[in-house]
Amino acid sequence: MNTRALAARVLAQVFKGMSLTAALDGALPALALAQDRAFVQALTFGVSRQFHKLDFWLTHLLDKPLKDPEIKALALVGLYQLAFMRVKTHAAVAETVAAVGKKTWAKPLLNALLRNYLRQQDRLEHACQLHASAAISHPNWMIKSITQDWPEQSARIFAENNRQPPLVLRVNLGQTSRTQYLQLLTERGIAAEALACCPTAVQLTKPVPVDGLPAFSDGWVSVQDSAAQLAAGLLDVQPGQRVLDVCAAPGGKTAHILEMQPQLHELVALDIDPLRMHRLHENLQRLQLNATQTVGDATDPKNWWDGRPFQRILLDAPCSATGVIRRHPDIKLLRKPTDIAALQASQTALLAAIWPLLAPGGRLLYATCSLLKQENEQQIETFLAHCADAKAVPIVAEWGQERPFGRQILTGDQGMDGFYYALIEKH
């Protein structure tokens, strides 16, 4: 299997609306060698990350648009190799042209296009600086929204979005200490450091496959960004409490809550997607943790709730995911400006449906991986204005920034993903 052809096939699926993760999950098993799988991942993530710039160049190099999605994807793969990868020029051109397979009509076109790019590289780079979307490699609507909300920080946010994210681990303190696990990594020759923002977080200097991590299969560590690791501590679960984790799959925060407080009365992990719940089940199995796993619609509690209140609720709400673009660069291709209103409506409906399930004196933690104020602080402001028995609990921390309601982490702050948290108490 030609790796560049497979990368183009994956990208063509993304162009049609499939997530990059799902497209890769379906494609990578066809490759036997780990280095080939890594190369396809590097190509597809890279093209997705730099899509708006690459597409701008492609448009300027063609007389008319390419109608074949796989050939267009292959052209972008070729351009990405020449501009951003340490692949020898002749190899990048020759191997990309060879990847057309039976579509032999595309060989001379791709060969001419890639060689033309090499001749016009400086001119094209200069030209894209005059167009914000190409220069920043983000869609125009996203540039406008993020700049409007964070005018002083937007340039850094866009730069962070286009960088590869660090690999961060969550140490299971029920199995080992962070210091002991760092020692294990040192013994394996894996460079890492503890992160001050979170007591369970360890960041690797260079990514390694999870099967190369000591005691990963035994549940000593999980892969989870430090911003996401903050949720369990903010929830502050106590022994004997009943906890609800809404939109729980794939289970990273569920597992962390259970690791931090093994003496819960019960943790109910709820998600509407059976396939994602299967991933949650697998993750809990590896970590040897137990939760009541429920597939159901959180906005319709009568179909799954037993009527017993919860002392803690985590609502990890569906959102634009604008804070995790560096991990999921296909968000820049898949997310549309019209999605935001629908996501806001979903967040509002979830808050309204879940709030009655919280016991008096209980706390709800609202979380998103969004940077947009309308999904975050404005959403909470509206909720509090319409809910007489709800009050905001200030989050005092050395990470992120305090907002009128809740606390916001911007992408790259202390190396973290972009996240928003608001803590609400029922009185």
| pLDDT, tens digit, 9 for 90 and up, residues 119-167 | 999 999 999 999 999 999 999 999 999 999 999 999 999 999 999 999 9
3-state secondary structure of 325: coil
Task: Let me know the angle formed at the C-alpha of 425 by 423 and 427, rounded to the nearest 5 degrees.
Answer: 165
pLDDT-above-70 percentage for the chain: 100
Given 128, 198, 369, 387, the catalytic residue: 369
Name the DSSP letter for residue 85: S
At residue 340 the predicted structure's pLDDT band, cuts being 50, 70 and 90, is very high
Flag whether pLDDT at 20 surpasses 80. Answer: yes
Asked if 7 and 40 touch (Cβ cutoff 8 Å), the reply is yes
Two tokens at 55?
């597409």
Q: Which of 63-67, 218-222, 397-401 has the lowest mean pLDDT?
A: 63-67
> Partners of 168 in the beta sheet?
203
Does the model's pTM come out above 0.85? yes
Please list, in sequence order, all residues whose beta carbon lies within 8 angstroms of the beta carbon of residue 353, skipping any fewer than 6 positions away.
298, 299, 300, 301
| pLDDT, tens digit, 9 for 90 and up, residues 34-88 | 999 999 999 999 999 999 999 999 999 999 999 999 999 999 999 999 999 999 9
Query: What backbone torsions phi and psi does residue 103 show, to the nearest 5 degrees?
Result: -85, 65
Q: Is 369 labeled as catalytic in the residue annotation?
A: yes
Two tokens at 308?
């017993």
Q: What is the pLDDT of residue 229?
A: 98
The amino acid present at 353, given as its one-letter code, is: A
What domains does the chain contain, in order, with CATH numbers? 3-131 (1.10.940.10), 168-223 (3.30.70.1170), 226-426 (3.40.50.150)
Taking CA atoms, 5 is separated from 30, 43, 56, in Å, by: 12, 11, 22
Q: What is the pLDDT of residue 1?
A: 74
| pLDDT, tens digit, 9 for 90 and up, residues 273-302 | 999 999 999 999 999 999 999 999 999 999
Two tokens at 25?
């999950």
What mean pLDDT comes out for the span 292-314? 97
Taking CA atoms, 240 is separated from 152, 294, 371, in Å, by: 45, 20, 35
Mean confidence (pLDDT) of the chain: 97
Q: What is the pLDDT of residue 18?
A: 97
At residue 100 the predicted structure's pLDDT band, cuts being 50, 70 and 90, is very high
